[in-house]
A and B are shown apart, each in its own frame.
Chain A
Amino acid sequence: MMHIIVCMKVTPKSEQVRLDPNTKTIIREGVENEINPADKNALEAALQLKDKHGCKVTVLGMGPPVWEPYMKLAVSMGADDAILVSDKAFAGADTLATSRTLATAIKKIGEYHLILCGEESSDAGTGHVPPSIAEFLNIPQITFVNHIEIIDGKIRARRVLEGAYEVLECTPPVLLSIEYGCNTPRFPDFRRKRWVDREFKLKVWSIRDLELNEEEVGLKGSRSIVEELREMGLGERARQKITGTEDEIAAQILNIIRPYIKK
Protein backbone atom coordinates (compact mmCIF):
# COMPACT_ATOMS: atom_id res chain seq x y z
CA MET A 1 0.00 0.00 0.00
CA MET A 2 1.29 3.42 -0.92
CA HIS A 3 2.06 5.80 1.87
CA ILE A 4 1.35 9.45 1.10
CA ILE A 5 2.67 12.21 3.33
CA VAL A 6 0.97 15.59 2.99
CA CYS A 7 2.96 18.58 4.26
CA MET A 8 0.41 20.90 5.69
CA LYS A 9 0.74 24.37 7.07
CA VAL A 10 -1.71 26.59 8.93
CA THR A 11 -1.90 30.21 7.79
CA PRO A 12 -3.71 33.35 8.89
CA LYS A 13 -6.46 34.52 6.52
CA SER A 14 -4.60 36.97 4.29
CA GLU A 15 -7.36 39.58 4.15
CA GLN A 16 -7.33 39.98 7.92
CA VAL A 17 -3.63 40.57 8.34
CA ARG A 18 -2.44 44.10 9.11
CA LEU A 19 0.77 45.69 10.30
CA ASP A 20 0.91 47.58 13.55
CA PRO A 21 1.81 51.05 12.26
CA ASN A 22 4.06 51.75 15.25
CA THR A 23 5.92 48.52 15.84
CA LYS A 24 5.82 47.36 12.18
CA THR A 25 4.98 43.87 13.33
CA ILE A 26 2.05 41.74 12.25
CA ILE A 27 -1.06 42.07 14.38
CA ARG A 28 -2.03 38.49 15.25
CA GLU A 29 -4.91 39.20 17.63
CA GLY A 30 -8.32 38.51 16.18
CA VAL A 31 -6.94 37.04 12.97
CA GLU A 32 -8.51 33.71 12.03
CA ASN A 33 -6.36 30.81 10.90
CA GLU A 34 -7.10 28.19 8.28
CA ILE A 35 -5.40 25.20 6.68
CA ASN A 36 -3.21 26.77 3.98
CA PRO A 37 -5.59 26.79 0.96
CA ALA A 38 -3.24 24.97 -1.44
CA ASP A 39 -2.51 22.35 1.23
CA LYS A 40 -6.23 21.60 1.44
CA ASN A 41 -6.05 20.82 -2.28
CA ALA A 42 -2.98 18.65 -1.66
CA LEU A 43 -4.83 16.79 1.09
CA GLU A 44 -7.86 16.32 -1.16
CA ALA A 45 -5.62 14.97 -3.93
CA ALA A 46 -4.15 12.47 -1.43
CA LEU A 47 -7.59 11.45 -0.21
CA GLN A 48 -8.79 10.88 -3.78
CA LEU A 49 -5.83 8.56 -4.35
CA LYS A 50 -6.69 6.84 -1.08
CA ASP A 51 -10.33 6.39 -2.18
CA LYS A 52 -9.21 4.90 -5.47
CA HIS A 53 -6.15 2.86 -4.55
CA GLY A 54 -6.36 2.40 -0.78
CA CYS A 55 -3.32 4.45 0.23
CA LYS A 56 -2.35 5.47 3.74
CA VAL A 57 -2.32 9.25 4.25
CA THR A 58 -0.28 11.03 6.93
CA VAL A 59 -0.35 14.79 7.41
CA LEU A 60 2.77 16.50 8.66
CA GLY A 61 3.12 20.08 9.86
CA MET A 62 5.85 22.11 11.48
CA GLY A 63 4.33 24.79 13.65
CA PRO A 64 3.18 25.93 17.09
CA PRO A 65 0.69 24.02 19.30
CA VAL A 66 -2.19 26.24 18.06
CA TRP A 67 -2.06 24.18 14.87
CA GLU A 68 -3.26 21.04 16.69
CA PRO A 69 -6.98 21.44 15.89
CA TYR A 70 -6.17 21.89 12.18
CA MET A 71 -4.01 18.77 12.11
CA LYS A 72 -6.95 16.91 13.66
CA LEU A 73 -9.30 18.51 11.16
CA ALA A 74 -7.24 16.90 8.39
CA VAL A 75 -7.80 13.52 10.08
CA SER A 76 -11.53 14.22 10.27
CA MET A 77 -11.42 14.86 6.53
CA GLY A 78 -9.93 11.41 5.98
CA ALA A 79 -6.20 11.35 6.73
CA ASP A 80 -5.07 8.30 8.72
CA ASP A 81 -2.46 9.91 10.87
CA ALA A 82 -1.15 13.36 11.81
CA ILE A 83 2.18 14.55 13.13
CA LEU A 84 2.92 18.04 14.40
CA VAL A 85 6.58 18.90 14.62
CA SER A 86 6.63 21.56 17.28
CA ASP A 87 9.35 23.16 19.33
CA LYS A 88 10.31 26.68 20.33
CA ALA A 89 13.63 26.09 18.57
CA PHE A 90 11.82 25.90 15.21
CA ALA A 91 10.47 29.46 15.42
CA GLY A 92 11.61 31.99 12.84
CA ALA A 93 12.62 29.38 10.27
CA ASP A 94 13.17 30.45 6.65
CA THR A 95 12.35 28.09 3.78
CA LEU A 96 15.69 26.33 4.13
CA ALA A 97 15.37 25.61 7.86
CA THR A 98 11.70 24.67 7.40
CA SER A 99 12.52 22.23 4.61
CA ARG A 100 15.38 20.67 6.54
CA THR A 101 13.15 20.12 9.57
CA LEU A 102 10.31 18.66 7.52
CA ALA A 103 12.68 16.42 5.55
CA THR A 104 14.15 15.12 8.81
CA ALA A 105 10.65 14.37 10.11
CA ILE A 106 9.84 12.55 6.87
CA LYS A 107 12.97 10.41 7.25
CA LYS A 108 11.87 9.57 10.77
CA ILE A 109 8.44 8.53 9.50
CA GLY A 110 10.35 6.03 7.39
CA GLU A 111 8.65 4.46 4.44
CA TYR A 112 6.83 6.76 2.00
CA HIS A 113 6.03 6.80 -1.70
CA LEU A 114 4.52 10.18 -2.35
CA ILE A 115 5.00 13.51 -0.64
CA LEU A 116 2.42 16.12 -1.45
CA CYS A 117 2.82 19.81 -0.69
CA GLY A 118 0.77 22.83 -1.64
CA GLU A 119 2.17 24.89 -4.52
CA GLU A 120 2.77 27.73 -2.11
CA SER A 121 1.67 29.04 1.23
CA SER A 122 -0.75 31.96 1.34
CA ASP A 123 1.34 33.90 3.87
CA ALA A 124 4.94 33.47 2.70
CA GLY A 125 4.00 32.44 -0.81
CA THR A 126 7.43 31.21 -1.76
CA GLY A 127 6.81 27.78 -3.23
CA HIS A 128 10.44 27.08 -2.38
CA VAL A 129 9.82 24.63 0.44
CA PRO A 130 8.67 21.70 -1.76
CA PRO A 131 11.80 21.60 -4.00
CA SER A 132 14.03 22.09 -0.97
CA ILE A 133 12.41 19.15 0.86
CA ALA A 134 12.89 16.99 -2.26
CA GLU A 135 16.57 17.92 -2.40
CA PHE A 136 17.11 17.14 1.30
CA LEU A 137 15.48 13.74 0.72
CA ASN A 138 17.38 13.29 -2.52
CA ILE A 139 14.24 12.34 -4.44
CA PRO A 140 12.77 13.75 -7.68
CA GLN A 141 10.11 16.45 -7.64
CA ILE A 142 7.26 17.55 -9.88
CA THR A 143 5.99 20.99 -8.89
CA PHE A 144 2.75 22.81 -9.79
CA VAL A 145 0.73 19.68 -10.45
CA ASN A 146 -3.01 19.79 -11.07
CA HIS A 147 -3.71 16.14 -11.82
CA ILE A 148 -2.23 12.87 -10.53
CA GLU A 149 -2.71 9.29 -11.60
CA ILE A 150 -1.11 6.08 -10.41
CA ILE A 151 -0.50 3.80 -13.39
CA ASP A 152 1.21 0.44 -12.84
CA GLY A 153 2.82 1.70 -9.67
CA LYS A 154 4.16 4.79 -11.40
CA ILE A 155 3.12 8.35 -10.69
CA ARG A 156 1.87 10.31 -13.65
CA ALA A 157 1.37 14.02 -13.06
CA ARG A 158 0.27 16.97 -15.12
CA ARG A 159 2.46 19.98 -14.44
CA VAL A 160 1.14 23.39 -15.41
CA LEU A 161 3.50 26.14 -16.57
CA GLU A 162 3.15 29.58 -18.10
CA GLY A 163 1.68 28.93 -21.53
CA ALA A 164 2.52 25.25 -21.42
CA TYR A 165 1.82 22.01 -19.64
CA GLU A 166 3.73 18.77 -19.24
CA VAL A 167 2.69 15.25 -18.44
CA LEU A 168 5.49 13.63 -16.47
CA GLU A 169 6.02 10.16 -15.11
CA CYS A 170 8.14 9.00 -12.24
CA THR A 171 8.78 5.96 -10.10
CA PRO A 172 8.10 6.61 -6.41
CA PRO A 173 9.26 8.03 -4.11
CA VAL A 174 8.59 11.48 -5.55
CA LEU A 175 7.50 14.83 -4.18
CA LEU A 176 4.68 16.73 -5.86
CA SER A 177 3.46 20.24 -5.19
CA ILE A 178 -0.24 20.65 -5.86
CA GLU A 179 -1.91 23.64 -7.46
CA TYR A 180 -4.25 25.74 -5.40
CA GLY A 181 -7.82 25.35 -6.65
CA CYS A 182 -7.26 22.19 -8.71
CA ASN A 183 -9.93 20.22 -6.85
CA THR A 184 -12.73 20.79 -4.33
CA PRO A 185 -11.62 19.83 -0.84
CA ARG A 186 -14.15 17.70 1.01
CA PHE A 187 -15.76 18.60 4.33
CA PRO A 188 -14.81 16.74 7.47
CA ASP A 189 -16.77 13.55 7.98
CA PHE A 190 -19.09 13.88 10.95
CA ARG A 191 -18.60 10.37 12.33
CA ARG A 192 -14.87 10.54 11.82
CA LYS A 193 -14.77 13.85 13.62
CA ARG A 194 -16.44 12.30 16.66
CA TRP A 195 -13.85 9.53 16.62
CA VAL A 196 -11.04 12.08 16.33
CA ASP A 197 -12.40 14.13 19.22
CA ARG A 198 -12.71 11.07 21.45
CA GLU A 199 -9.87 8.77 20.54
CA PHE A 200 -7.38 10.10 18.03
CA LYS A 201 -4.02 11.05 19.47
CA LEU A 202 -1.99 13.56 17.52
CA LYS A 203 1.74 12.83 17.49
CA VAL A 204 3.82 15.82 18.56
CA TRP A 205 7.56 15.67 17.89
CA SER A 206 10.13 18.01 19.39
CA ILE A 207 13.64 18.85 18.26
CA ARG A 208 14.92 15.96 20.38
CA ASP A 209 12.64 13.48 18.64
CA LEU A 210 14.17 14.57 15.35
CA GLU A 211 17.74 14.50 16.65
CA LEU A 212 18.47 17.88 15.09
CA ASN A 213 20.81 20.56 16.40
CA GLU A 214 19.53 23.97 17.39
CA GLU A 215 21.98 25.44 14.86
CA GLU A 216 20.19 23.65 12.01
CA VAL A 217 16.63 24.79 12.68
CA GLY A 218 14.51 27.88 13.31
CA LEU A 219 16.07 31.31 13.14
CA LYS A 220 19.56 29.96 13.85
CA GLY A 221 19.35 27.50 10.98
CA SER A 222 18.07 30.13 8.56
CA ARG A 223 20.13 31.65 5.79
CA SER A 224 17.86 34.61 5.12
CA ILE A 225 16.40 37.08 7.59
CA VAL A 226 13.66 39.67 7.56
CA GLU A 227 15.03 43.15 8.17
CA GLU A 228 11.73 44.98 8.28
CA LEU A 229 8.07 44.75 7.27
CA ARG A 230 6.34 47.36 5.14
CA GLU A 231 2.67 47.89 4.33
CA MET A 232 2.26 47.85 0.56
CA GLY A 233 -0.55 50.41 0.40
CA LEU A 234 -2.63 48.57 -2.16
CA GLY A 235 -5.66 50.68 -1.46
CA GLU A 236 -4.98 54.39 -1.76
CA ARG A 237 -7.71 55.23 -4.23
CA ALA A 238 -10.27 57.99 -4.80
CA ARG A 239 -13.19 55.70 -3.88
CA GLN A 240 -15.74 57.82 -5.71
CA LYS A 241 -19.19 56.23 -5.66
CA ILE A 242 -21.25 56.02 -8.82
CA THR A 243 -24.98 55.65 -8.26
CA GLY A 244 -28.24 55.79 -10.14
CA THR A 245 -30.39 53.46 -12.21
CA GLU A 246 -28.58 50.79 -14.18
CA ASP A 247 -28.96 52.92 -17.28
CA GLU A 248 -27.48 55.97 -15.57
CA ILE A 249 -24.64 53.93 -14.12
CA ALA A 250 -23.79 52.51 -17.55
CA ALA A 251 -23.80 56.03 -19.02
CA GLN A 252 -21.43 57.27 -16.32
CA ILE A 253 -19.06 54.33 -16.76
CA LEU A 254 -19.04 55.04 -20.47
CA ASN A 255 -18.09 58.66 -19.81
CA ILE A 256 -15.18 57.62 -17.62
CA ILE A 257 -13.83 55.02 -20.02
CA ARG A 258 -14.45 56.87 -23.29
CA PRO A 259 -10.96 58.43 -23.49
CA TYR A 260 -9.48 54.92 -23.26
CA ILE A 261 -11.56 53.28 -26.00
CA LYS A 262 -9.33 52.20 -28.84
CA LYS A 263 -10.90 52.14 -32.26
Chain B
Amino acid sequence: MNLEYKNVWVFLERRREEIIESSLEVLGKARELADKYGDKVAGVLMGAGNLDKLAETAITYGADIVYTIQDDVLQDYSTIPYSEALSRMIIRYKPNIILYPATRNGRDLAGRVSAKLNLGLSANTVWLDIVGDGVLLAGVPGFGGGIMAVTKCLTKPQMATVRPGVFPKPQPNPTRTGRIERIDVGKLPEPQVKTIERVFYTVEDISKAEAIVIAGMGIRENIEAVKKLAEKLNWAFGATRPLSDEGLVPRDIFVGATGKTVRPKIALIVGASGAAHFISGVAGAEKIISINIDPEAPIHSYSDYSIVGDAYKIIPKLLEKLEAEAK
Protein backbone atom coordinates (compact mmCIF):
# COMPACT_ATOMS: atom_id res chain seq x y z
CA MET B 1 0.00 0.00 0.00
CA ASN B 2 1.16 3.51 -0.73
CA LEU B 3 1.47 4.66 2.85
CA GLU B 4 2.21 8.22 1.96
CA TYR B 5 -1.47 8.81 1.28
CA LYS B 6 -3.92 7.33 3.72
CA ASN B 7 -7.44 7.64 5.10
CA VAL B 8 -10.75 8.43 3.45
CA TRP B 9 -11.84 11.98 4.24
CA VAL B 10 -15.34 13.38 4.19
CA PHE B 11 -16.14 17.07 4.08
CA LEU B 12 -18.77 17.43 6.80
CA GLU B 13 -20.93 20.27 5.55
CA ARG B 14 -22.86 22.09 8.23
CA ARG B 15 -26.20 23.78 8.03
CA ARG B 16 -26.22 26.00 11.08
CA GLU B 17 -25.73 23.67 14.06
CA GLU B 18 -26.16 20.40 12.22
CA ILE B 19 -24.21 18.19 9.86
CA ILE B 20 -26.33 17.92 6.73
CA GLU B 21 -27.90 14.58 5.81
CA SER B 22 -25.96 14.16 2.60
CA SER B 23 -22.65 14.44 4.47
CA LEU B 24 -23.81 11.58 6.69
CA GLU B 25 -24.70 9.54 3.60
CA VAL B 26 -21.19 10.16 2.30
CA LEU B 27 -19.77 9.17 5.67
CA GLY B 28 -21.57 5.83 5.38
CA LYS B 29 -20.12 5.24 1.94
CA ALA B 30 -16.64 6.31 3.10
CA ARG B 31 -16.85 3.72 5.91
CA GLU B 32 -17.65 1.00 3.39
CA LEU B 33 -14.78 2.00 1.08
CA ALA B 34 -12.23 2.30 3.89
CA ASP B 35 -13.23 -1.10 5.29
CA LYS B 36 -12.76 -2.64 1.89
CA TYR B 37 -9.03 -1.85 1.77
CA GLY B 38 -8.38 -1.52 5.48
CA ASP B 39 -8.14 2.21 6.08
CA LYS B 40 -9.61 4.82 8.42
CA VAL B 41 -12.34 7.39 7.87
CA ALA B 42 -11.78 10.99 8.87
CA GLY B 43 -14.33 13.78 8.87
CA VAL B 44 -13.38 17.42 8.37
CA LEU B 45 -15.55 19.87 10.22
CA MET B 46 -15.21 23.65 10.12
CA GLY B 47 -16.98 26.36 12.06
CA ALA B 48 -16.70 29.29 14.43
CA GLY B 49 -17.97 27.76 17.67
CA ASN B 50 -17.17 24.58 19.56
CA LEU B 51 -17.55 21.66 17.18
CA ASP B 52 -17.08 18.74 19.59
CA LYS B 53 -20.74 17.80 19.75
CA LEU B 54 -21.04 17.59 15.99
CA ALA B 55 -17.77 15.70 15.80
CA GLU B 56 -19.17 13.12 18.18
CA THR B 57 -22.22 12.74 15.99
CA ALA B 58 -19.93 12.10 13.02
CA ILE B 59 -18.17 9.38 15.00
CA THR B 60 -21.45 7.61 15.67
CA TYR B 61 -22.07 7.67 11.91
CA GLY B 62 -18.76 6.01 11.07
CA ALA B 63 -15.82 8.42 11.43
CA ASP B 64 -12.67 7.20 13.21
CA ILE B 65 -11.15 10.66 13.41
CA VAL B 66 -12.78 14.07 13.17
CA TYR B 67 -10.57 17.06 12.44
CA THR B 68 -12.17 20.26 13.64
CA ILE B 69 -11.05 23.70 12.54
CA GLN B 70 -12.39 26.58 14.54
CA ASP B 71 -12.13 30.14 13.25
CA ASP B 72 -14.51 33.10 13.13
CA VAL B 73 -14.26 33.31 9.32
CA LEU B 74 -15.60 29.74 9.14
CA GLN B 75 -18.94 30.60 10.77
CA ASP B 76 -20.86 30.02 7.55
CA TYR B 77 -19.68 28.45 4.35
CA SER B 78 -17.59 30.80 2.24
CA THR B 79 -15.39 29.70 -0.64
CA ILE B 80 -12.11 31.42 0.04
CA PRO B 81 -11.51 30.65 3.75
CA TYR B 82 -13.02 27.14 3.50
CA SER B 83 -10.99 26.15 0.44
CA GLU B 84 -7.82 27.57 1.96
CA ALA B 85 -8.33 25.77 5.29
CA LEU B 86 -9.09 22.45 3.60
CA SER B 87 -6.15 22.76 1.20
CA ARG B 88 -3.74 23.36 4.07
CA MET B 89 -5.14 20.27 5.82
CA ILE B 90 -4.73 18.17 2.68
CA ILE B 91 -1.12 19.22 2.24
CA ARG B 92 -0.38 18.47 5.88
CA TYR B 93 -2.11 15.09 6.21
CA LYS B 94 -2.14 13.65 2.66
CA PRO B 95 -5.42 11.72 2.61
CA ASN B 96 -5.89 8.98 0.02
CA ILE B 97 -9.46 9.98 -0.85
CA ILE B 98 -11.59 13.07 -0.20
CA LEU B 99 -15.35 12.87 -0.65
CA TYR B 100 -17.68 15.85 -0.62
CA PRO B 101 -21.46 15.85 -0.77
CA ALA B 102 -22.36 17.18 -4.24
CA THR B 103 -24.43 19.92 -2.71
CA ARG B 104 -24.03 23.42 -4.04
CA ASN B 105 -21.51 24.30 -1.34
CA GLY B 106 -19.75 20.95 -1.74
CA ARG B 107 -19.27 21.49 -5.46
CA ASP B 108 -18.26 25.11 -4.96
CA LEU B 109 -15.55 23.95 -2.56
CA ALA B 110 -14.32 20.84 -4.39
CA GLY B 111 -13.88 22.65 -7.71
CA ARG B 112 -11.82 25.34 -6.03
CA VAL B 113 -9.61 22.87 -4.11
CA SER B 114 -9.07 20.81 -7.28
CA ALA B 115 -7.57 23.83 -9.06
CA LYS B 116 -5.66 25.01 -6.00
CA LEU B 117 -3.83 21.71 -5.55
CA ASN B 118 -3.99 20.43 -9.12
CA LEU B 119 -5.99 17.34 -8.17
CA GLY B 120 -8.34 15.15 -10.18
CA LEU B 121 -12.00 15.35 -9.19
CA SER B 122 -14.94 13.14 -10.19
CA ALA B 123 -18.28 14.91 -10.21
CA ASN B 124 -21.71 14.10 -8.81
CA THR B 125 -20.85 10.46 -8.43
CA VAL B 126 -23.64 7.91 -8.03
CA TRP B 127 -21.45 4.84 -7.67
CA LEU B 128 -18.10 4.36 -5.90
CA ASP B 129 -15.78 1.40 -5.51
CA ILE B 130 -12.24 0.60 -4.40
CA VAL B 131 -9.84 -1.56 -6.36
CA GLY B 132 -6.35 -2.68 -5.38
CA ASP B 133 -4.87 -0.97 -2.36
CA GLY B 134 -7.06 2.07 -2.37
CA VAL B 135 -7.70 3.12 -5.97
CA LEU B 136 -11.07 4.87 -6.21
CA LEU B 137 -13.40 4.16 -9.12
CA ALA B 138 -16.20 6.71 -9.42
CA GLY B 139 -19.41 6.60 -11.47
CA VAL B 140 -20.18 9.99 -12.98
CA PRO B 141 -23.59 10.40 -14.61
CA GLY B 142 -23.59 12.15 -17.96
CA PHE B 143 -26.26 13.54 -20.29
CA GLY B 144 -28.72 13.92 -17.45
CA GLY B 145 -28.01 10.45 -16.15
CA GLY B 146 -28.61 8.22 -19.16
CA ILE B 147 -24.96 7.28 -19.31
CA MET B 148 -22.45 6.71 -16.53
CA ALA B 149 -18.72 7.23 -16.97
CA VAL B 150 -16.50 5.22 -14.67
CA THR B 151 -13.64 7.58 -13.83
CA LYS B 152 -10.36 7.35 -12.01
CA CYS B 153 -8.16 10.12 -10.60
CA LEU B 154 -4.52 10.10 -11.65
CA THR B 155 -3.37 12.09 -8.63
CA LYS B 156 -3.59 11.59 -4.88
CA PRO B 157 -5.61 12.49 -2.95
CA GLN B 158 -8.35 11.20 -5.22
CA MET B 159 -11.41 13.42 -4.96
CA ALA B 160 -15.10 13.05 -5.76
CA THR B 161 -18.34 14.85 -5.05
CA VAL B 162 -21.17 12.46 -4.20
CA ARG B 163 -24.74 12.99 -5.27
CA PRO B 164 -27.16 13.47 -2.36
CA GLY B 165 -29.90 10.90 -1.89
CA VAL B 166 -28.09 8.11 -3.71
CA PHE B 167 -26.38 6.29 -0.85
CA PRO B 168 -28.34 5.43 2.30
CA LYS B 169 -27.70 7.32 5.50
CA PRO B 170 -26.10 4.82 7.90
CA GLN B 171 -27.60 3.86 11.24
CA PRO B 172 -25.83 5.78 13.99
CA ASN B 173 -24.04 3.64 16.55
CA PRO B 174 -23.85 5.51 19.87
CA THR B 175 -21.18 3.17 21.23
CA ARG B 176 -18.67 3.75 18.40
CA THR B 177 -15.50 5.46 19.52
CA GLY B 178 -13.18 7.77 17.67
CA ARG B 179 -10.94 10.73 18.27
CA ILE B 180 -11.45 14.41 17.81
CA GLU B 181 -8.45 16.49 16.79
CA ARG B 182 -8.56 20.26 16.93
CA ILE B 183 -6.39 21.61 14.17
CA ASP B 184 -4.81 25.02 13.89
CA VAL B 185 -4.32 25.83 10.22
CA GLY B 186 -2.95 29.31 10.77
CA LYS B 187 -4.44 32.62 9.78
CA LEU B 188 -7.10 32.25 7.11
CA PRO B 189 -7.87 34.75 4.33
CA GLU B 190 -11.01 36.89 4.44
CA PRO B 191 -13.99 35.79 2.28
CA GLN B 192 -13.77 38.76 -0.20
CA VAL B 193 -17.51 38.28 -0.62
CA LYS B 194 -19.80 40.04 1.82
CA THR B 195 -22.99 38.42 3.04
CA ILE B 196 -25.89 40.87 2.91
CA GLU B 197 -28.54 38.35 3.79
CA ARG B 198 -28.80 34.63 4.44
CA VAL B 199 -32.18 32.98 4.75
CA PHE B 200 -32.81 29.38 5.75
CA TYR B 201 -36.15 27.73 5.25
CA THR B 202 -37.46 24.24 5.71
CA VAL B 203 -39.47 22.29 3.24
CA GLU B 204 -40.65 18.74 3.48
CA ASP B 205 -37.90 16.39 2.32
CA ILE B 206 -39.45 14.44 -0.53
CA SER B 207 -36.40 12.24 -1.06
CA LYS B 208 -37.53 9.76 1.61
CA ALA B 209 -41.17 9.57 0.48
CA GLU B 210 -42.69 6.11 -0.02
CA ALA B 211 -45.19 7.43 -2.53
CA ILE B 212 -45.19 10.61 -4.58
CA VAL B 213 -47.24 12.53 -7.12
CA ILE B 214 -45.13 14.60 -9.49
CA ALA B 215 -46.47 17.45 -11.60
CA GLY B 216 -44.91 18.56 -14.89
CA MET B 217 -45.45 21.48 -17.26
CA GLY B 218 -48.32 19.59 -18.89
CA ILE B 219 -50.51 20.40 -15.86
CA ARG B 220 -49.10 23.86 -15.29
CA GLU B 221 -52.53 25.53 -15.14
CA ASN B 222 -53.88 23.23 -12.46
CA ILE B 223 -51.06 22.33 -10.14
CA GLU B 224 -53.52 22.82 -7.31
CA ALA B 225 -55.44 19.69 -8.35
CA VAL B 226 -52.23 17.61 -8.28
CA LYS B 227 -51.33 19.01 -4.88
CA LYS B 228 -54.79 18.22 -3.62
CA LEU B 229 -54.46 14.69 -4.94
CA ALA B 230 -51.18 14.26 -3.08
CA GLU B 231 -52.84 15.52 0.08
CA LYS B 232 -55.83 13.20 -0.27
CA LEU B 233 -53.57 10.22 -0.84
CA ASN B 234 -51.21 11.33 1.90
CA TRP B 235 -48.36 11.17 -0.62
CA ALA B 236 -45.48 13.56 -1.12
CA PHE B 237 -45.79 16.22 -3.82
CA GLY B 238 -42.98 16.87 -6.28
CA ALA B 239 -42.53 18.61 -9.62
CA THR B 240 -40.27 18.93 -12.66
CA ARG B 241 -37.68 21.67 -12.70
CA PRO B 242 -39.39 24.13 -15.10
CA LEU B 243 -42.33 24.51 -12.69
CA SER B 244 -39.88 25.49 -10.01
CA ASP B 245 -37.91 27.77 -12.35
CA GLU B 246 -41.16 29.59 -13.08
CA GLY B 247 -41.73 30.00 -9.37
CA LEU B 248 -44.92 27.92 -9.42
CA VAL B 249 -43.64 25.42 -6.85
CA PRO B 250 -40.91 25.67 -4.19
CA ARG B 251 -37.37 24.99 -5.37
CA ASP B 252 -36.68 22.13 -3.03
CA ILE B 253 -39.31 19.82 -4.41
CA PHE B 254 -38.16 19.37 -7.96
CA VAL B 255 -36.95 15.95 -8.93
CA GLY B 256 -34.05 15.16 -11.24
CA ALA B 257 -30.37 15.39 -12.00
CA THR B 258 -30.09 18.83 -10.40
CA GLY B 259 -32.86 18.31 -7.87
CA LYS B 260 -34.01 15.54 -5.58
CA THR B 261 -33.41 11.87 -6.11
CA VAL B 262 -36.48 9.95 -4.99
CA ARG B 263 -36.91 6.21 -4.61
CA PRO B 264 -40.54 5.67 -3.65
CA LYS B 265 -42.55 2.47 -3.95
CA ILE B 266 -44.81 4.29 -6.36
CA ALA B 267 -44.70 7.52 -8.36
CA LEU B 268 -47.59 9.03 -10.28
CA ILE B 269 -46.17 11.43 -12.87
CA VAL B 270 -48.58 13.92 -14.39
CA GLY B 271 -47.77 15.96 -17.52
CA ALA B 272 -44.00 15.48 -17.64
CA SER B 273 -42.29 14.71 -20.95
CA GLY B 274 -39.66 12.37 -19.50
CA ALA B 275 -36.43 14.29 -20.18
CA ALA B 276 -33.23 12.46 -19.17
CA HIS B 277 -32.41 15.12 -16.57
CA PHE B 278 -35.76 14.46 -14.91
CA ILE B 279 -35.97 10.68 -15.27
CA SER B 280 -32.63 10.05 -13.58
CA GLY B 281 -34.18 11.44 -10.38
CA VAL B 282 -37.09 8.95 -10.34
CA ALA B 283 -35.42 5.95 -11.95
CA GLY B 284 -35.18 4.32 -8.52
CA ALA B 285 -38.98 4.19 -8.09
CA GLU B 286 -40.41 0.68 -7.84
CA LYS B 287 -43.47 1.54 -9.92
CA ILE B 288 -44.16 4.46 -12.20
CA ILE B 289 -47.57 5.48 -13.54
CA SER B 290 -47.64 8.37 -15.95
CA ILE B 291 -50.20 10.52 -17.66
CA ASN B 292 -49.22 12.41 -20.80
CA ILE B 293 -51.42 13.59 -23.66
CA ASP B 294 -48.73 12.99 -26.26
CA PRO B 295 -48.40 9.33 -27.29
CA GLU B 296 -44.84 10.04 -28.46
CA ALA B 297 -43.65 11.48 -25.14
CA PRO B 298 -40.60 9.56 -23.83
CA ILE B 299 -42.17 9.29 -20.35
CA HIS B 300 -44.36 6.43 -21.61
CA SER B 301 -41.37 4.16 -22.09
CA TYR B 302 -40.15 4.94 -18.57
CA SER B 303 -43.45 3.82 -17.06
CA ASP B 304 -44.91 0.60 -15.73
CA TYR B 305 -48.39 1.91 -16.44
CA SER B 306 -48.82 4.63 -19.00
CA ILE B 307 -51.82 6.67 -19.92
CA VAL B 308 -52.15 8.69 -23.08
CA GLY B 309 -54.70 11.22 -22.00
CA ASP B 310 -55.59 14.70 -20.80
CA ALA B 311 -54.44 15.21 -17.23
CA TYR B 312 -56.78 18.21 -16.82
CA LYS B 313 -59.68 15.77 -17.13
CA ILE B 314 -58.24 12.66 -15.50
CA ILE B 315 -56.95 14.23 -12.28
CA PRO B 316 -60.31 15.81 -11.31
CA LYS B 317 -62.02 12.46 -12.00
CA LEU B 318 -59.52 10.74 -9.77
CA LEU B 319 -60.16 13.28 -7.02
CA GLU B 320 -63.92 12.77 -7.39
CA LYS B 321 -63.55 9.03 -6.98
CA LEU B 322 -61.29 9.38 -3.98
CA GLU B 323 -63.76 11.71 -2.33
CA ALA B 324 -66.63 9.35 -3.06
CA GLU B 325 -64.69 6.48 -1.48
CA ALA B 326 -63.83 8.53 1.57
CA LYS B 327 -67.53 8.97 2.34
Contact = CB atoms under 8 A, between A and B. Distances in A.
B144 A125 contact: yes
A142 B200 CA distance: 18
Contact of B257 (A15, A125, A167, A226): A125
Given A141-B79, A160-B251, A262-B233, A130 B298 contact: no
Interface in B225-272: 233-235, 241-242, 245, 251-252, 257-258, 265-266, 268
Contacts of B104: 143-144, 159-162
Main secondary structure of the interface of A (DSSP, over half): mixed
Contact of A227 (B119, B137, B147, B257): B137
Contacts, number: 287
B96 interface: no
A257 interface: yes
Interface residues of A, number: 84
B317 interface: yes
A254 B210 contact: no
B143 A12 contact: yes
Interface of B: 15, 20, 79-80, 83, 103-105, 107-112, 114-116, 118-124, 137, 139-155, 161, 164, 191-203, 210-211, 233-235, 241-242, 245, 251-252, 257-258, 265-266, 268, 275-277, 279-280, 283, 287-289, 298, 300-310, 313-314, 317-318, 320-322, 325
B313 A246 contact: yes
A165 B197 CA distance: 8
Nearest to A261: B233
Contacts of A128: 107, 110-111, 114, 121, 123, 161
Contacts of B194: 168-170
Contacts of A226: 149-151
18 contacts: A99-B111, A125-B257, A127-B111, A160-B104, A162-B164, A163-B203, A164-B201, A180-B245, A223-B118, A223-B120, A224-B154, A225-B154, A232-B148, A234-B280, A235-B279, A239-B304, A241-B305, A250-B317
B15 A123 contact: no
Contacts of A119: 258
Given A125-B142, A135-B112, A250 B152 contact: no
In the A-B complex, the 4 residue pairs with the smallest Cβ-Cβ separation, listed nearest first, are A131-B111, A181-B245, A223-B120, A126-B123
A15 B122 CA distance: 23
Contacts of B139: 230
A241 B111 contact: no
Given A120-B258, A232-B280, A260-B211, A239 B111 contact: no
A224 B306 contact: no
A249 interface: yes
Contact of A237 (B103, B275, B303, B313): B303
B147 A230 contact: yes
A20 to B, nearest CB: 11
B155 to A, nearest CB: 5
Given A163-B15, A224-B153, A249 B307 contact: yes
